[in-house]
Homo-oligomer: A and B are copies of this chain.
């Protein structure tokens, strides 16, 4: 460790950046030398912020020879990618909370960091304040992790929790969440699963020890979940959650995806409510471990950024990078497509109220090697149609798609309302 102060450059002074400045004020051995902002004149909720350290040019930071660590909290790939590339080329260590950048450009950045013998730490990018990346790299370092089940997006978990609790529609809850600031005006990034997909791409890369390609991650959001689905799931003993999933198949391929799932009520992920995030890892020798906590917010995110900064500060000055500072996944994952995956399925069907319609559904499923685990018939409506909910045994998704096609073409079937995968 150097005896003089470690010098830090901060890119971004929004919510997370402000949190980082606030928590760093207690550290005499760390100096924030420069902060890049959009608007230098904006009033900010930070005591004793010297205007002289603000700049509107982030390249001043990444090119400053005195700066040891660059902390990037602006998000997005542009200009973050260019900035971090420059910083790494200038042999600076990186701490970032930028999940989109890591998912899209992680491989290039990590390769460059290896070449330049610097580190990129990113605890804050995945699951906010929850310690998850460092435990995987340290305590769990001897494990072969074969499964991750996670709730990585607070906005969608808030919406789903509220839909279930108050028995209201997605649209209603979204409006309320937007008013409360839990959802953005354009909520696409959250509700369509982009945010979760970015995070699971990076988390799966480190946990499965294979480079996962964000472009090959199947992604489905929560906008099609109805209040009815919520209630039927509840009756059947489940909650609906947006799950980021990664597992190794028996032949060591990677099955990585984001979509809603029916989670058994007794599973610990079912009790993760509101904006909380959670990550469940399964591996050998550890078995199944769970982490939960705040997935976002000024201080939880700053906690993780601070942990990474302190880790780098502790390693600065030694000749070699510490093992947890290395980023060396040379193997690209062989990712399977969603059609190749195996799941249990919840299928909500509107059917004509003919005698034998459940038999018809059962027969069609059987034609495609799909066994039914349970069938729930809900009341007849005024059009004389019935809602039939089936839960299947484990089936190959391709077979499910074929069965759905055949069901759609059957005269007894009015509509397939929804298809949601079910957690084992």
Contact = CB atoms under 8 A, between A and B. Distances in A.
A129 to B, nearest CB: 4
Nearest to A1: B320
A293 B324 CA distance: 23
A253 to B, nearest CB: 22
Contacts of A286: 129, 293-294, 299-300, 303-304
B287 A289 contact: no
Given A271-B271, A291-B290, A293-B290, A306 B142 contact: yes
Interface in A292-346: 292-294, 297-300, 302-304, 306-311, 314-315, 318, 320, 322-324
A291 B294 contact: no
B288 A303 contact: no
A309 B323 CA distance: 13
Given A129-B289, A286-B293, A294-B287, A323 B314 contact: yes
A380 interface: no
Given A139-B307, A320-B1, A288 B294 contact: yes
A221 B123 CA distance: 38
Interface string A132-168: 0111001111110000000000000000000000000
Nearest to A290: B292
Contact of A288 (B19, B27, B142, B293): B293
A243 to B, nearest CB: 18
Nearest to A267: B271
Nearest to A278: B290
Contacts of A27: 142
Contacts of A310: 138, 141-142, 323
Contact of A292 (B130, B268, B314, B324): B268
A131 interface: yes
Contacts of A23: 142, 285
A291 to B, nearest CB: 6
Nearest to A313: B323
Contacts of A298: 285
Closest 9 A-B residue pairs measured CB to CB?
A: A289-B293, A285-B299, A131-B139, A142-B306, A139-B307, A286-B303, A131-B135, A290-B292, A314-B323
25 contacts: A1-B320, A22-B285, A23-B142, A23-B285, A129-B287, A131-B131, A131-B135, A131-B139, A131-B289, A134-B135, A135-B135, A140-B303, A141-B310, A268-B272, A285-B300, A286-B294, A286-B299, A286-B300, A287-B299, A290-B292, A310-B323, A314-B322, A314-B323, A318-B318, A318-B320
